[in-house]
Structure 1
Amino acid sequence: MLRKKFVVLLLLIIIFVLNLPSASFADRKDLVLIVYSQTEEEQLKDVRILETLVGQFRDDYKIIEDADIGQENLNEFDYVIYLGAGRKALSESLLKTFNNYKGPFFAINHNAEQFKEKMPWLNINGEALVNQVEVPDNQSQNLTEERIVYDVTANGTAVSLVGNKVDGSGSVPLLLNSNNIYYFAGQNLYNPFEEYITQSLINFFGEEGKGITKYLRLEDVHPMVDPDQLREQAEFLKEKDIPYMVAVIPEYTNNGKTVHLVDSPKLVKTLKYMQNNGASIVLHGYKHQYRSSETGEGFEFWDAENDRPIYQPANEKAKQMSDFPTYAAYEAFVEEGEEYERSYMENAIESGIEELVAHDLYPVAFEAPHYAISQQGYKIVSEHFSSYVGQLQLTDLTWKGEFAPPYESRPEFVHGMTVYPETLGYIEEGDDKGIEKMQEKIEIKSKYNHSYLSAFYHPYLGLEGLKEVVENLNEVDGTWLDLKQRDNRVQVNDISIFTIDGEYQVEKPFLASDYERNLFIRKSLIWFIPVLLVGVTLVIFLIRKRKKKSISQVENAS
């Protein structure tokens, strides 16, 4: 009888174990597939924007072009998103694959009229111009420019966004949902459409908004900045108990004049005070300059004159495609240029980190000057930093049209870095309405439950302007971002910097760079010379004293 009970118990255990989910399934995160259609290189911008929006929620998504759909089993994915970045006739195999997929599905922009089986409720009746958007709670937002959208009608769907037509003839639905099948009718994803898609992705992924996060960055702090003015602002932020960032440029250059942090000891002292009292240091390039412009004004990691990556030294005449006999010859030049760019950027990043660390200043993130940087540049930066601050350049076609997601994100094209977006801009010198413009942006973005309110401020504008910016941000309930409280990693040569729970962990040799060795010698000489003078003076004194004593003894003997 006992043996029979044992056998029954053993069978029950086996059945229970066999019915447990496998470890790989139990530990699996929700998988997202993004499929896009593209007909022109320019359309890659919308693809990058969508990546960044999805990256606010998932960092394990997969992105493919529509032609590669046959290589995927959609049943392996929990969510599928389709972006029609360009208009094109979709293949039967793609449409069939989408039709057979039963999970949550989100279609955006072009080509949705071809999803007749997937979205039978959707009718597209041409295009419309809209200049105002309304959401269900009767809030409305005027658009800064007219936008082209698809003029759609749909039965049996939930409409969460409506656009009002420019001609006053009525409105059109922009965002629709029917049984976890979504459609967005806008024809690009730029502001403010990215806000609306972000809000819809919260529902699409079955999540909740993460609330409002605020951050403030003091910008373009280089060796020629007034340390007293900077210290005054740092003391104010400490008094207000506001964590903040300070974007530091280690080298200042202008008209052949070069100044390093070692030449500005009072500024270094101020930066150490800031680091110890709420500030997180961001490396803002090495000299914020590529050709002949003054530090803080010029670009560093983008050839703005030719609107392309850094392919050549600044003193060389920029070669154009027309300078080459064949396209193959031009491609060979670009390949060499990319090698030059890597060497150039590596040197700048290494020099920047090494100079800061030599002064016991520890950068925890990177920001490209003017946010301009190539796609290879992001790869290079990611090899040294885990955190990136600011806005994103979307393609190598142009630096113009940079983009910031509403919330922090980890898009694939920045190679694992976390992007902490800047969403509010800055106060421009001489702009009497600068504070008012920023306040308008704050009012709009604070309406969303998944949003960054983040701005930067130039210290040379003075304390009063900073107080106004802080006052406006403090009027909104939200959490101030303390970047050093996040897990950050910085690595270059023998230097490693980590932040864990607000504490710095720094691993480095005693003298980690040529700059630090020269700094050590310079400091040693500063102390050595006075000590040497004191020593020489003491020796002379003792010699004279002994000589005087000898003379006195001789005189006494005589």
Structure 2
Amino acid sequence: MFLKRGFAVSLVFVFVTVFAFDFPGISFASGNENTVLVLYSKTIEEQMKDIRILETMVGQFKNDYKMMEDEEADQANLNDYEYVIYLGAGKKTLSHHMKSAIDDYKGAFYAIGHNAEQFKERLPWLDVRGEALVNQVALPKNDLVQDLSEDRIVYEVSADDAEVSGFGYKADGSGSLPLVVNAEDDYYFSGQNLYNPFGEVVTESFRLFLNDGSKGTVKYLRLEDVHPMADPELLREQAEYLKKENIPYMVAVIPVYENKDKIVHLSDSPKLVDTLRYMQENGASIIMHGYKHQYRSSETGEGFEFWDAENDRPIYQPAKDKAKQRSDFSTAEEYDEFVKKGEKYEKGYMENAIRSGVEELVAHDLYPIAFEAPHYAISQQGYRIVSKHFSSYVGQLQLTDSTWQSEYAPMHESKPDFLHGMILYPETLGYIEQGDAKAMEKLNAKIETGSKYSQSYLSAFYHPYLGLDGLKEVVKSLNEVNGDWLDLKQKDNLVQVKDIRIQTKDGGYQVEKPFLASDYERNLFIKKSLIWAIPLVLFILPAASLLVIRRRE
């Protein structure tokens, strides 16, 4: 780890940053022409969830894809693309131009969900007969049968002269039916939504459709909710264990603890700071997990920060203000104006939190290299704001602004457009819930299922207050699976806040910052200086007095 200084180095770094990462708004986008066109149909805003899921799924394979609503299809020449994917998120009658464009398309085609029966010329082998309920999915080639958390509606189809690679088992126990079918380069998935495990099944079929032969399992572990009131000795014990096991990991740090009138900064917890530095130097990657991890009156770690959970909407107002509802406005125009002002407030609120969080961590020589929103809850504007400062995002994704309870994690790292250049490192396994006697059993079941897919992340988070024994169980379960542990420091990460730039490559840090990069760091420096100065003054004054007395004698 090292600190670069000097005008010449700064100039070179700025040049590289601008051209390699395209600040503001860090971007790792490919300069290639788009190879994948994703067309979609929707009838209500709620269906954006499936559209975003599909975008996240495609982002696992391609950076150079384009999203387009069916009504815009006449503006595109489909034959400019190597692959076309169509998602019928809602039922609708497609235009003659849309259907003709699909029929005349020369490349590989994949239809999902509703409206596939309208592509009769393109998919003559597909017969949609009605609907059915399924409670299990199966991928025979993966030796995988997976239960659904609830019955799901699918189209009951037959596909003569087509291959069936995925099946659904009917909820009434009357047998199986096709889920994924294809004839040569044309595919169809009969499910009517894409939430996992449907999304996982489609992702597996995308590997054949997109000619991607990548295989392998990536494992990662994240220690969660480490704030200034965390127990440094408990944390050190777990850090030493992970070092001994040679396991790279992440630690999600919240720089400020707040509960009612109690506010604690990292500067108030020097032993914790020492432990976090030890972790950073011995396998850990620091993740910024919000600034305070709370919004209204909730305690840090329990509350949300970038989402108003009480009203299930973005942060439109200061926490102490009474939340205004649509009913408080006499016209839609007045409410729209309130929302517009609210979005402006949210932007300033988030920018301040991100800047303050990075500044306070860096002041303690702790270098965050990725961002994780508290409870994974954040607005679509929030992703744009975060992307201006972080190139890497950890966890799961909130799909729309209609509710925070619409989160999704793909099977592998992904770069969907709505992350504005950030790479997602997904969390797929959940966590060990305190007091749940079957927590490890549930985790092991998820690990067993995830490991049967061709390429997947097996990633979990663990709360350090649960102790070392529980952590050992999680590590033991993950170690039983063949795969590589993710060391996020080995990835190319970039963080920028004002005059602070943090970059990682091949496991090393490159940090650029002024000597005192923030008011917080300046106050910390003064505080440390006084701690050293007071004993020195107390020693010098008596010594000087004694010397004067002796000279007078």
The answer to whether TM tops 0.5 is yes
Structure 1 distance, partners of 2:98, 2:122, is 12
1:218, distance to aligned residue in structure 2 (A):
0.2
Aligned residues: 522
- Secondary structure of 1:196's counterpart equals helix
Q: Deviations over 1:453-493 (max 9, x none)?
A: 00000000000000000000000000000001000000000
1:210, distance to aligned residue in structure 2 (A):
3.3
Please, which of 85, 88, 91 is the counterpart of residue 81 of structure 1? 85
Query: Which residue of 2 is the match for residue 118 of structure 1?
Result: 122
Query: Which residue of 1 is the match for residue 424 of structure 2?
Result: 419
Q: Are 2:411 and 1:406 equivalent residues in the alignment?
A: yes
Please identify, of 86-95 and 166-175, the stretch whose mean Cα deviation from structure 2 is larger: 166-175
Structure 1 distance, partners of 2:400, 2:149, is 24
What's the Cα RMSD here? 0.9
Structure 2 distance, partners of 1:36, 1:511, is 50
Please, which of 441, 445, 448 is the counterpart of residue 443 of structure 1? 448
Structure 2 distance, partners of 1:307, 1:149, is 30
Query: Which residue of 1 is the match for residue 14 of structure 2?
Result: none
Query: Which residue of 2 is the match for residue 390 of structure 1?
Result: 395
TM-score (norm 1): 0.93
Structure 2 distance, partners of 1:457, 1:493, is 32
Query: Which residue of 2 is the match for residue 5 of structure 1?
Result: none
Structure 2 distance, partners of 1:259, 1:407, is 37
* Superposition pairs of residues 1-12 of structure 1, within 5 angstroms: none
Structure 1 distance, partners of 2:275, 2:312, is 36
Q: Are 2:38 and 1:34 equivalent residues in the alignment?
A: yes
For the 8 Å contact 2:185–2:209, the answer to whether it is kept is yes
1:366, distance to aligned residue in structure 2 (A):
0.1
Query: Which residue of 1 is the match for residue 323 of structure 2?
Result: 318
Please, which of 152, 159, 165 is the counterpart of residue 160 of structure 1? 165
Q: Deviations over 1:477-530 (max 9, x none)?
A: 000000010000000000000001111000110000000000000000000111
Structure 2 distance, partners of 1:324, 1:59, is 43
* Superposition pairs of residues 170-185 of structure 1, within 5 angstroms: 170-185=175-190
Please identify, of 260-269 and 158-167, the stretch whose mean Cα deviation from structure 2 is larger: 158-167
Q: Are 2:103 and 1:103 equivalent residues in the alignment?
A: no
TM-score (norm 2): 0.93
Structure 2 distance, partners of 1:468, 1:278, is 19
Larger radius of gyration: 1
- Secondary structure of 2:333's counterpart equals helix
Structure 1 distance, partners of 2:497, 2:33, is 32
Q: Are 2:264 and 1:245 equivalent residues in the alignment?
A: no
Query: Which residue of 2 is the match for residue 526 of structure 1?
Result: 531
> What percentage of aligned pairs have identical amino acids?
67
Structure 2 distance, partners of 1:225, 1:308, is 30
Structure 2 distance, partners of 1:451, 1:194, is 13
Q: Are 2:541 and 1:536 equivalent residues in the alignment?
A: yes
Structure 2 distance, partners of 1:48, 1:207, is 21
Q: Deviations over 1:31-80 (max 9, x none)?
A: 11000000000000000000000000011110010000010011111110
Please, which of 423, 431, 435 is the counterpart of residue 430 of structure 1? 435
Structure 2 distance, partners of 1:506, 1:136, is 49
1:29, distance to aligned residue in structure 2 (A):
5.7
1:145, distance to aligned residue in structure 2 (A):
1.4
Which consecutive residues of structure 2, in runs of 5 or more, have no partner in the other structure? 1-30
Structure 2 distance, partners of 1:274, 1:88, is 54
Structure 1 distance, partners of 2:507, 2:263, is 34
Query: Which residue of 2 is the match for residue 555 of structure 1?
Result: none
Larger RCO (alpha carbons 8 Å, 6+ apart): 2
Query: Which residue of 1 is the match for residue 291 of structure 2?
Result: 286
For the 8 Å contact 2:144–2:449, the answer to whether it is kept is no
Structure 2 distance, partners of 1:59, 1:283, is 25
Structure 2 distance, partners of 1:233, 1:144, is 34
Query: Which residue of 2 is the match for residue 220 of structure 1?
Result: 225
Which amino acid in 1 is paired with 2:342? G
1:139, distance to aligned residue in structure 2 (A):
3.2
Query: Which residue of 2 is the match for residue 495 of structure 1?
Result: 500
Please, which of 95, 98, 101 is the counterpart of residue 94 of structure 1? 98
Which amino acid in 1 is paired with 2:77? N
Which amino acid in 1 is paired with 2:472? K
Q: Are 2:281 and 1:264 equivalent residues in the alignment?
A: no
Structure 2 distance, partners of 1:402, 1:305, is 17
Query: Which residue of 1 is the match for residue 22 of structure 2?
Result: none
